[in-house]
C-alpha cells in the first residue's frame, strides 16, 4: 500500500550549493538519496515531496559541507505479505510473468497462476491455461496477492517478491470480468431470468 509519511533525517548540503535556496537544495539532495531506495522499516521510497522544516546547520571539521536536521514528507510503497496488489505484466517467460507494481517488479510463477497446467506461447509472449484457454500476456493488468517478500536495501533490484493468482477474486482484469458475468448469468438462471 502507498503511504504519505512525515520523516526526519540529517542532510548534508555540499559546499558548492551553499549559496542556493536552502529548502530547494535539501529537497534535491533527499530526492537523489532516497527515491528508488528501500528501507525495510519504512518501505520503497517513491518520491520526496516536500521539505517541512529545517533545523540549525552543523559544520563538521574537515568537511566543507553543512549538515541539517530536516523534517520532510515522502510517498512510500510498503508491501506486506498477503496484501492484494494490482500490477501490469511487463514480461512473460516459460516459468512465469514479471509484474510491475510501480517502483519494483514481482514474479508470478506459472504454478501460482492457476490450478490448470500452463503452456508458454513464446511467439505471442503469453501464458495459456490448458483447459480453460485463459491467458496472460504483456501489458495486461492483473490483481494478485503477495506471498513472498524479501527486500534488499543495498541492491533494490535483487529484491524478490512472489505473487499468486490462485484464489477467488484474483487474476487478469479480463478473467475477473468473465467470472463476474458468469456469476450474474448463474444468478439470473436461478431466479427465473429476473
pTM above 0.75, yes or no: yes
Which residues are paired to 48 by β-bridges? 74
Which residues are paired to 151 by β-bridges? none
Rounded Cα–Cα distance for residues 157 and 148 (Å): 15
Q: What is the pLDDT of residues 56-112, one digit of tens each?
A: 999 988 888 999 999 999 999 999 999 999 999 999 999 999 999 988 899 999 999
Residue 178 confidence (pLDDT) = 86
Spell out the domains of the chain, with CATH numbers in brackets: 2-77 (3.30.1490.120), 84-188 (2.40.50.140)
- pLDDT class of 193 with cuts at 50, 70, 90: low
Q: What is the pLDDT of residues 42-52, one digit of tens each?
A: 999 999 999 99
The mean per-residue pLDDT over the stretch 20-29 comes to 94
- End-to-end Cα separation, the chain, in angstroms: 40
Amino acid at each position: 500500500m502507498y503511504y504519505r509519511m512525515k520523516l526526519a533525517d540529517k542532510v548534508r548540503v555540499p559546499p558548492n550549493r551553499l549559496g542556493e535556496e536552502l529548502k530547494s537544495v535539501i529537497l534535491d539532495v533527499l530526492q537523489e538519496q532516497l527515491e528508488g531506495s528501500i528501507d525495510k522499516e519504512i518501505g520503497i521510497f517513491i518520491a520526496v515531496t516536500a521539505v517541512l522544516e529545517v533545523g540549525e546547520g552543523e559544520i563538521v571539521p574537515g568537511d566543507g559541507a553543512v549538515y541539517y536536521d530536516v523534517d520532510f514528507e515522502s510517498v512510500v510503497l510498503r508491501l506486506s505479505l498477503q496484501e492484494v496488489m494490482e500490477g501490469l505484466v511487463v514480461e512473460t517467460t516459460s516459468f512465469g510473468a514479471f509484474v510491475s507494481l510501480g517502483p519494483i517488479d514481482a514474479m508470478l510463477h506459472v504454478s501460482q497462476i492457476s490450478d490448470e497446467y500452463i503452456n508458454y506461447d513464446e511467439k505471442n509472449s503469453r501464458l495459456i491455461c490448458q483447459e480453460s484457454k485463459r491467458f496472460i500476456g504483456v501489458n495486461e493488468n492483473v490483481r494478485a496477492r503477495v506471498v513472498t517478500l524479501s527486500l534488499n536495501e543495498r541492491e533494490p533490484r535483487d529484491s524478490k517478491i512472489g505473487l499468486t493468482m490462485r484464489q477467488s477474486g484474483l487474476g487478469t482484469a479480463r478473467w475477473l470480468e468473465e467470472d463476474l458475468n458468469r456469476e450474474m448469468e448463474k444468478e439470473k438462471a436461478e431466479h427465473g431470468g429476473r
